[in-house]
């Protein structure tokens, strides 16, 4: 009984030790990120956008859907920081609310692409042979299409909506993730510990998801962050073409498209959504690059 208590106490103190070690490791990671100024700026931008998306209802000064024709097309002022659009809606409020749509589409599309891509890529890399050939050829075909064209084709088949844009953008992210997962899996599969674990009776599922996936995660995370920028941009682009979010939804691409007609009389209608998109995409890219440097074991000193 006493001995058991002692082991328990020991276990608790070791738990603490382990937590401490984990914190130390996270700190080291953050240190590396902070030393890279560009990555830090990128990370702060992304964080800023996430905060906006989460707290949009509290931050927005007006209802983004409230039409006020008396105050339409007003230039930026203290009352309307970014002016109003052709129906008198506050542009700032619309951008704040729109962050949820644009970023949501981006994140979901990347997750969609990553999940399917990783499964396909790992299957190809792990089993090799004809499975690899079939999957790789399918990926080659997908890569042969220009991304936006493939997305257009998918949307014209499914009909224009924000959800279909998400699917379309996700689909053309699949081959990128699949190729990275395939290459990394092939590399890890040859390592001795995979043989060792197989000789102890592990099945393919265990080997793939428990032993290979955690080891190939970092290039996938980096690719995911970089891909997020492209996904947001593509989704905005598709909405700009009228294939995604439908009015009156405050999606950034749709707002940009709407502002196009007033580019000479009320340029702020297009400028602000455009700037918003550009800043976020830049943030994602800087952050992704920084993440890649921080996670690359060869860069560690």
Partner 1 sequence: MAQEKVLEINQLKTYFHTKRGIGKVVDGIDLTLHKGETLGIVGESGCGKSMTSLSVLQLVPDPGKIVEGSVRLNNEELVGKSEKQMRNIRGNQISMIFQEPMTSLNPVISVGEQIAETIREHQGLNRKQAFQKSIEMLKLVGIPSPEKRAKQEPFQLSGGMRQRVMIAMALACNPEVLIADEPTTALDVTIQSQILKLMKNLQKKLKMGIIFITHDLGVVAETCDRVAVMYAGEIVEYSTTEELFRHPKHPYTKGLLQSLPKLYEDQEELQAMEGSIPSPFKEHQGCKFTDRCPIAEDSCHQIHPDLKMSSDHSYQVRCLFYQEEKELTKGMSSV
Q: Which residues bind partner 1 (CB under 8 A)?
A: 7, 10-11, 14-15, 17-18, 191-193, 195-203, 206, 210-211, 214-215
Measured distance CA(113)–CA(171) in Å, rounded? 6
Residue bearing tokens 């990370």: 43
If the CB atoms of residues 12 and 75 are measured against partner 1, the closer one turns out to be 12
Q: Give me the least distance between CB of 212 and partner 1, in Å please.
A: 9
Give whichever of 159 and 201 is closer to partner 1, judged by the CB atom: 201
Residue 206 CB, nearest approach to partner 1 (Å): 7
Q: Which is nearer to partner 1, 199 or 265 (CB)?
A: 199
Shortest Cβ distance from residue 6 to partner 1 (Å)? 10
Would you say 22 or 260 has its CB closer to partner 1?
22
**Closer to partner 1 at the Cβ: 21 or 156?**
21
Cβ(211)–Cβ(193) below 8 Å: yes
Min CB(300)–partner 1 separation in Å: 13
Compute the least distance from the CB of residue 211 to partner 1, in Å.
5
């Amino acid at each position: 009984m006493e001995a058991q208590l002692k082991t328990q106490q020991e276990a608790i103190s070791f738990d603490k030790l382990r937590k401490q070690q984990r914190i130390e490791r996270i700190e080291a990671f953050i240190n590396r990120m902070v030393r890279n100024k560009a990555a830090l700026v990128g990370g702060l931008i992304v964080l800023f956008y996430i905060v906006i998306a989460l707290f949009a209802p509290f931050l927005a000064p007006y209802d983004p859907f409230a039409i006020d024709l008396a105050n339409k097309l007003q230039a930026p002022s203290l009352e309307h920081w970014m002016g109003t659009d052709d129906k008198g809606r506050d542009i700032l409020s619309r951008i704040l609310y729109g962050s949820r749509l644009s970023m949501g589409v981006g994140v979901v599309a990347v997750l969609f692409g990553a999940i399917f891509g990783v499964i396909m890529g790992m299957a190809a890399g792990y089993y090799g042979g004809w499975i690899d050939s079939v999957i790789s050829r399918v990926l080659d075909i997908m890569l042969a299409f220009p991304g936006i064209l493939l997305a257009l084709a998918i949307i014209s088949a499914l009909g224009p909506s924000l959800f279909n844009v998400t699917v379309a953008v996700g689909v053309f992210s699949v081959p990128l993730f699949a190729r990275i997962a395939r290459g990394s899996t092939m590399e890890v599969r040859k390592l001795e510990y995979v043989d060792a674990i197989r000789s102890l009776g592990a099945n393919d599922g265990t080997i793939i998801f428990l032993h290979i996936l955690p080891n190939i995660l970092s290039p996938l995370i980096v690719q995911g962050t970089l891909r997020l920028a492209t996904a947001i941009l593509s989704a905005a682009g598709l909405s700009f073409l009228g294939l995604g979010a439908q009015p009156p939804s405050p999606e950034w691409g749709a707002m940009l498209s709407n502002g196009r007609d007033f580019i000479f009389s009320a340029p702020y209608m297009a400028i602000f959504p455009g700037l918003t998109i550009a800043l976020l995409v830049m943030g994602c890219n800087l952050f992704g690059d920084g993440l890649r440097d921080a996670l690359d074991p060869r860069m560690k000193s």
